[in-house]
Amino acid sequence: MTSPSPETTGLTGPFFFQRRFLPMWVAFVLGAFTDNMLKQALLIGLTFQALITLPGIADGASIVPVAGALFPLAMLVFSPIAGQVADKYETRKLFRLTKFVEFLLMVLAAAGFLMLGTPLAPVAGPVLVLALFLMGVQSAFFSPVRISAMPKYLTSQELIRANAFCNGGLYTSILLGLLLGGMLIIMDGGPLIVSIVLAIAALAGWLAIRATPEASPDDPGLTIEYNPLRLIQRQIGYVSREPPVIRPLIGIGLFFFISTAVTIAVPVYADETLNADGSVATAIMGLFAIGALIGAVISALLSRGRSGLGFATSAMTVASVASVALYIASALFEHDGDRLNAMEFLSRPDGWLLAGLFMICSAAMGVFTVPLQAAVQRRARPQHRARIMASGNMLNALTAGIGSLSVLFVTGTAMTPHAAFLGIAALQATITLYMVFRRRSVPEGLYDEVLDDHEQTPPVTLETAPLLDAEPDKIQPPRV
């Protein structure tokens, strides 16, 4: 039998440009872009413009934390089933199906935006909220497929860089989604432009994922359980039998709590603390995303040949100090009666100080989370990998939902919005202290492992015959 050529398998050259990674990466970042553009356009429309309304709710800002919690709520509810589906069925088919569903949902969201300014405008808000919730459902199914597919296609050392690439692409997509969603929705004809961009991006993601190589399922004989109580019990069981993955999963969950709380708090913070308009809220979120992108790049550079977990402790320390400084600088920020726009905010020295602190905090959190993600993928057993990832998604969704709803302590009380950053700093300091204690309690070398590919998954090349099926574009799961 003739061996497949490098051209047909896409398994030569830097892995970023190969079919085993690039199509998945493109589809992932475009999905993150559409998620965040939709969410930001909805939240800005509710908070500042009164452009989007919901029946029976007079104050749009009061519903923002609840609307922000819908996406993680959907992830929490559907992740247990999604993890089973990802383990049972072939990867490429699931990729194609989930991305096509995303395209249909973006068409639904586009229809909602197009209703604005028409007699159907009262229906637009509920349609957009429904679309946001359903995008959470779609993400619940796509995420374990993507995360569990990466160890099938990539070696252990490639996983750290691949996660850094994914996080870098994620934060870039978040940045673009926040900027375009926040800026376009308030323009004349903005809802139409937002609709077109969402539909095109989702279509491009579906077309990109079609180039992903086939990868065999990890557990094709699995019987899917639909009982929610038994599902939760099983998910907890999978994780409890994998002690090495529990701590990084919790760390990632805390990252989602913090990042979601910041995302939801910023529009209220810009409105009440800074006396600024929606462009400032969008600019701050953009700077936060840029900082996280920088953090992902730093993590990739620091972690060459190592797990990078040791750097995560230092990063969380920096994040805690930056959050305290952010609280103090916000309390000292002065403004007159006129609302600031983004240009006016960034023309002030104290505006630049706040912007820099947001970036430092997010960069440190980026350095913190990349090694944890790679550790979970590296340590999880292949036959349960997708379900463990789904358990992680459940935890992430739960913590993100709590993080979103925690902002109600600000919006529903007399607390100043920037007080949220003091609470975040306290949580970050607690995480730092635990990590320092944990690092001292384990033998030297176990906390920050040196990765050795001789003991890990073999690289996916034409020379590693057991990884290649007779079909040119089919990849079997590596034996680890």
- Residue 267 domain-assigned (yes or no): yes
Domain count for the chain, please give it: 1
Whole-number pLDDT of residue 445:
40
CATH number, domain with residue 312 = 1.20.1250.20
pTM reported for the whole predicted model: 0.70
Distant-in-sequence, close-in-space partners of 295: CB < 8 Å, separation ≥ 6: 315, 362, 363, 364, 365, 366, 367, 368, 370
- Residue 225 domain-assigned (yes or no): no
Q: Which helix or strand (DSSP H or E) is residue 413 part of? A: none
- Residue 470 domain-assigned (yes or no): no
- Residue 411 domain-assigned (yes or no): yes
- Residue 7 domain-assigned (yes or no): no
Whole-number pLDDT of residue 54:
65
Transcribe 25-53 into DSSP letters: HHHHHHHHHHHHHHHHHHHHIIIII--S-
Whole-number pLDDT of residue 443:
54
How many other C-beta atoms lie within 10 A of the C-beta of residue 135?
A: 27
Whole-number pLDDT of residue 59:
59
Q: Which helix or strand (DSSP H or E) is residue 161 part of? A: helix 156-184
Whole-number pLDDT of residue 64:
67
Whole-number pLDDT of residue 40:
84
Whole-number pLDDT of residue 236:
77
Q: How far apart are CA 388 and CA 380, in angstroms?
A: 7
Buried b (16+ CB within 10 A) or exposed e, 350-360: ebebbbbbbbb
Whole-number pLDDT of residue 123:
85
Residue span of the structural domain in which 359 resides: 13-218+238-443
Q: How far apart are CA 173 and CA 189, in angstroms?
A: 23
How many other C-beta atoms lie within 10 A of the C-beta of residue 198?
A: 28
- Residue 325 domain-assigned (yes or no): yes
- Residue 479 domain-assigned (yes or no): no
- Residue 224 domain-assigned (yes or no): no
User: What is the block-wise mean pLDDT of the chain (480 residues), using blocks of 10 residues?
Assistant: 38 75 95 91 72 61 69 82 89 95 96 87 85 92 90 82 85 84 84 94 96 88 82 77 82 88 84 85 84 83 66 89 94 83 90 93 89 80 77 83 78 76 91 82 49 40 30 39
